[in-house]
Structure 1
């Protein structure tokens, strides 16, 4: 059975990654309220269904994408159950066709591993090398559910606070697209 903890409103006592620690530090400094759970490792959207139930929200799917030359990077945030179509994404942004970025780049550029891609990776992107792209349907949701930078920690936060407070604070203005 997949473990999901009780709901907490405070950061974890112990941090697994530098990104996770910085995520909670920034949320607290911006006075952005959150609730969180600790879980068994969840690297698939199927595992996130249990988290969705516990937190009464829908987990987003965060994809790290790049062009063939690996010179343009995107963090695409969409609904968890929505299929990704590279052609549609590329057409909406009027960019070259994209695909999933290599695992090594995810770790070096975003500070996360497979299954832990998160909007909070923008904390590490101080050169704005990664464009943040949010599906219009995600932007319309009241709640934003995502990883805290690990595969064992998940948050529920106001979507508006992610878009209007957190992202501008870390120097990113997201593109919101309808795909």
Structure 2
């Protein structure tokens, strides 16, 4: 059985990764409220269903993508149950066909492992090597559900605060596409 904790509105007492620690410190510095839960390790979108129910929101799907040469990188944030179609994504951005970036690059560039990709990785991307891309459908959601940089911590934040407060603070202006 997949375990989901009670809801908390404070940071964990201990951090599992540098990214997780930066995430909570930055949200605190920006006065961005959140609700969070601790869970068993969640890897698939199916694991997120119980998290969604507990936090009363829909988890986003965050994909780390790159071109064939691994010179252009994208963090694509879309609706959790929407299938990803590389051709539609590439056409919407006007870029060469993309695929999933390798796990080692994900850990190196985003500070996360598979299953924990998160918009908060933008804090580690000081050179703006990764373009943040939102599916337009996400921008219409009141709540933004995502990983805190681990596969065992998930949170709920106002979508507008991610787009209008957090991303400008970390100097990443997202592209918004319709796919």
TM-score, scaled relative to structure 1: 1.00
Q: Find the residue that maps to 1:23 and give its secondary structure.
A: helix
After superposition, the C-alpha distances for 1:55-78 in whole angstroms (9 at most, x for unaligned) are 000000000000000000000000
CA distance in structure 1 between the partners assigned to 2:23 and 2:2 by the alignment? 25
RMSD: 0.3
Corresponding residue number in structure 2 for 1:49: 49
Q: CA deviation at 1:112?
A: 0.2
C-alpha distance in 1 between matches for 2:138 and 2:127: 25
> Aligned partners of 2:171, 2:126: CA distance in 1, in Å?
7
1:122 equivalent in structure 2 = 122
SS at structure 1 position matched to 2:13: coil
Partner of 2:109: 109
Pairwise CA distance, 1:84: 0.1
Aligned residues: 179
Aligned to 2:21: 21
SS of match in other structure, 2:107: helix
Partner residue in 1 for 2:81: 81
Cα deviation for residue 125 of structure 1 reads 0.3
Match of 2:61 in 1: 61
- Tell me which residue corresponds to 1:176: 176
* Partner SS state of residue 115, structure 1: coil
TM-score w.r.t. structure 2 length? 1.00
Alignment match, 2:70: 70
Matched, 1:11 2:14: no
Given the alignment of the two structures, is residue 144 of structure 1 paired with residue 144 of structure 2, yes or no?
yes
Measure how far apart 1:45 and its partner are.
Answer: 0.1
Runs of 4+ in 1 over 2 A off after TM superposition: none
For 1:132, the equivalent position in structure 2 comes to 132
